Structure formats: C-alpha cells, structure tokens
Amino acid sequence: MGVLRLVLGDQLSPDISSLKDAAPDDLILMAEVAEEATYVRHHKKKIAFLFAAMRHFANELRAAGHRVRYVRLDDAGNAGSLRGEVARALEEVPGLSSVVVTKPGEWRLLEDMKAWRDLLPVPVELREDTRFIVPLTEFFAWAKGRKQLRMEFFYREVRRKTGLLMDGEEPAGGQWNFDHDNRKRLPKSLVPPPRFLPPADKLTQEVIALVAARFPDHFGDLEPWVFATTRAGAEAARDHFITEILPGFGDWQDAMAKGEPWMWHSLLSVYLNCGLLDPLDVCRRAEAEWRAGRAPLNAVEGFIRQIIGWREYVRGVYWLKMPAYAETNALEAHRPLPDFYWTGETGMRCMADAIGQTKRHAYAHHIQRLMVTGNFALIAGIDPQAVNEWYLLVYADAYEWVELPNTHGMALHADGGLMASKPYAASGNYINKMSDYCGSCAYKVAEKSGPKACPFNYLYWDFIARNRERLGGNPRMALIYKALDRLPEAEIRAMQASAADFLAKACPAAD
C-alpha cells in the first residue's frame, strides 16, 4: 500500500517533511488548480513563475526516482481545487492508503485541510514545515507573556541559536545591528550593478502562454521575464548576488531611484519562499563572504537580519495571532484602495514608479513597499483588508504568512503596535531624502498644502492630527505631536483641506 504525498506550489524542496520518508510505492501529487490561482487575483507573472517552477520540480522528483502525478491547469478532468485533486487521485489510483502533506503557509488552506480528515476515505497526516530555522513552538514560547513582540530581541536569540555572525558569545563587530549604517542616499554618480535575470526556458514559455490565455484579466505583465524557475537557476541567482551585489547591499538597501527596480537587493525572496533555496544555507554563504573579507559587516548583517530575523519573525507572528489578527483595524481606516494602485497612473512619481515596476515585474523592494505604497496607504487611511489583498496578489514572493504581518503590522499599524512601536508614517521629506523621485514629480515636495503640494506632506500631517487620540500617548510620537502643536492653526487647516480634497478624488469613502 502506497501513500499519496501532496506537494504544494510553495513547497518545492526535496527535503520537505511530506517527502522525508517517501517510498517507491508512494505517489507524489502536484497540481495547478484554479482555486489557488484565483482566491485572490494573483499577478500573472506570479502564477506563471509558480506553475513553471512546479513543473520543473516535478521533473526533478522524477529524475530522483519518485512516482509523480502532475496535474496541469488545462488537463482534462482537473478538479480545480487541491481537495478535489486529492480525492480524484485516491479514486483513480489503486492502493493508496493515506495522504501526507506538509502544512501550508496560509490559515485559509490549513483550515480546509483539517477538514479533509472527515471528507476523504483515508487518513490524512498534516506535518510541520521543518524548512524554517525556528519551529513555531519555539517562537510561541519566546512570545509568551510579551505585550509587544519586538523583532530585534527575537533576532538576537536566532543569532545565538544559529551561530551566525557570532564571535563566541558576542555579536561580530561588537554590536547586533548595523542598520544605522544602511540608510545612505544613492549618489548621482553611482549606478546599480547588472543583475542575473535569466530568460524563460521552453517549459516556462509554455506556462507563460497558458497564463496569458487563462488569466487575461489578472493584474500585471508577463514580459519581460525576470525569474529563474529551476533550482539550478535559483542557485545561480544566489551566487551572483552574494559575489557581485552583496558588498553594496548594506549602504544602499534603503535607497530608491527612478527606473531602477532592483538596486542592490537580492531578489532571492521569491526563491526562498517557494522552497528553491534554503534560508540557512543562503545566510551561511553570506557570512562566509564577510569572514573572507569580500563583503563588509554592515551589508552581511543587514542581509542576514532580513532572513533569520524578519522572515522567521513574521511567520511566528502570523501563526501566533491568526485568524483574529487579519481582522484588526486599530486606526479605524476604511477608505477604498485608489484606482492608481492598479494602473500606476498618478502624478506622484514615487507611487507611479513603485506601482509601475510592480506591474511589470511582480516585485518592488522593501523600502518601496513600506515607505512608498505602504506609507501612502497608512496616512491616507486605506482599509487594511484592501491593502493586504493588494500586497498578497501583486508580489511573486507574497504568501499570507509573510505578507500579512509585514503589511498589516509594519506598514499599516493596523495591529495597534504589536509589531512596531510606532507607525511607519512619513512625509515627502523622507522620500526626497532617500530617492531622486521628487525632482521629476508633478508635485512640489517643499510645499505642504495646495494643488501643487506633495500629497505625502498634507496627508502625513492630516494623519497625525486625526489620530491624536489613538497615538498621542505613545512616547515615540511625543516629538511629532510637539511639532504639530507648533504649527499655526491656519497651516494645519490648510493641510487638512488639501488632504480632504485629494482623498475625495483619489479614494472617496464608500457610501
């Protein structure tokens, strides 16, 4: 009797727990299903990337001697859902005695899988996802009794656990965090380095054509192609980043420049989050570059912190707090998402650039996500559920376990400060400091109100003023509210009027 082993599209790892004891009689099931592609209308390039990577992984498993049942989206009889495909395999393939699957990364799907035990004719085993550095039980133990969950303290524990960038019991370089060294604006004379952007192979081209035909109304462009879809391709992208790009990552990781979507960022999250790369292996390779003297400590620490700090941390927060976490709206934000989040058609150059490259590439780097599109949604008071859905569907590396806490907690402060001690709200001055967007913008970053003023300016101060009751008691907001109190009343009213006029046109409140 064999076991049916289901592998999901973001579980493309040969050492995934569902496969750890696979036997020759077992059947590995992988399926492209409409339900997973459309529960939110995922970016076309995201769907194409995952389907192509899944097909390559199925071939990898076959080459390793496994028996694989792969269901393509356009196969006759495709049930359209994972549950339906599992049931169909049990019906059509004799001798399957049970189902084994590694737990998914989304609450929605896990709840559905728990019900399979009563709906399917064989036992269903849900295994823990062991590809992460910190088991959820360990994170829950760390979080127990804490009113606020600060990533920095968690990160230090993971450094100790892994030994990464540690000199005995002390952090390398004498400090844990070099973030203050990583906030430099890009000089005009410095050009971002060329990137490893592989062309689509024949299999991927076939998937691109399928997605174009089946999901024509989904957001985003399929060309130009920018992602590897094989393990070897992902490893080549990893090696190129570590040897060619990593040394500059620290200094310029917060910088933005018009027409430059990649900057010094790794572009590896898309491969880490679907299983083509191992996070601990990537971190150890980065550490080796510093120890060999080929990359500075601030760059390597900043990069490693993104993986063993933020990535592990947000996963823990997600599973600790769901499902109620997604429903919180601490700042009572209710405005609809503006149309320009879909079109990119806005006079705000920073928003147009970030949204435009998101449409083209299913990618934007973390400062664009947090301090441009996320910051705008925060200070404009956009409904968190609408913003969370947008982030989930537009980015190729977005799965709810990683997207929701980053968006809901960090960008929108919708969790009331569980993750961040204060909102990441900023005026146009921050964007001007960290980018070259403002020089070619239709608005003037030096003006605070009126038709030519940068919308980030008056929206910021309107946000501060209208949330005084909620945020005024926050010690980290004290200087901001003192600054608000020093502004002339007429200036505040002018900014509030500009904000009301802009919002009425861009995202009018629902009736």
The verdict on residue 211 lying in a domain is no
Same domain for 174 and 39: no
The amino acid sitting at 377 is: A
Same domain for 354 and 310: no
Same domain for 189 and 151: yes
- Burial (Cβ within 10 Å: 0-12, 13-18, ≥19) of residue 475: exposed
The verdict on residue 26 lying in a domain is yes
Closest CA to 246 of 265, 272, 269: 265
Q: Where in the sequence is the domain holding 191, given as residue range(s)?
A: 136-200+217-321
Q: Which residue has the tokens 């990069």?
A: 303
Beta bridge partners of 124: 99
Same domain for 370 and 260: no
Same domain for 462 and 499: yes
Q: Cβ(402)–Cβ(311) under 8 Å?
A: yes
Same domain for 289 and 243: yes
The verdict on residue 406 lying in a domain is yes
Q: 3-class secondary structure for 432-445?
A: HHHCCCHHHCCCEC
Rounded Cα gap, residues 55 and 148, in angstroms = 42
Structure tokens at 372: 């441009």
Same domain for 360 and 391: yes
Q: Is it true that the peptide bond before 323 is cis, omega within 30 degrees of 0?
A: yes
Residue 234 scores a pLDDT above 50: yes
CATH of the domain at 80: 3.40.50.620
pLDDT of residue 511: 44
pLDDT of residue 510: 54
At 4, which helix (H) or strand (E)?
A: strand 2-6
Question: Which residue among 64, 92, 127 closes a domain?
Answer: 127
Rounded Cα gap, residues 137 and 157, in angstroms = 14
Same domain for 495 and 353: yes
How many domains is the chain built from? 3
- Burial (Cβ within 10 Å: 0-12, 13-18, ≥19) of residue 105: buried
Average pLDDT of span 148-161:
93
Task: Provide the terminal-to-terminal Cα distance of the chain, rounded to the nearest Å.
Answer: 59
Question: Which residue among 288, 321, 354 closes a domain?
Answer: 321
Least confident of 250-259, 273-282, 300-309: 250-259
Same domain for 376 and 487: yes
Same domain for 307 and 405: no
Q: Cβ neighbours of residue 298 under 8 Å, at least 6 residues apart?
A: 178, 181, 182, 250, 251
CATH of the domain at 408: 1.10.579.10
Same domain for 13 and 150: no
The verdict on residue 327 lying in a domain is no
pLDDT of residue 189: 83
Tens of pLDDT, residue by residue over 296-349, are 999 999 999 999 999 999 999 999 999 999 999 999 999 999 999 999 999 999
What's the predicted TM-score (pTM) here?
Answer: 0.96
Tens of pLDDT, residue by residue over 352-392, are 999 999 999 999 999 999 999 999 999 999 999 999 999 99
CA torsion sign, 269 to 271 to 274 to 277? negative
The verdict on residue 371 lying in a domain is yes
Cα–chain-centroid distance for residue 430? Answer: 22
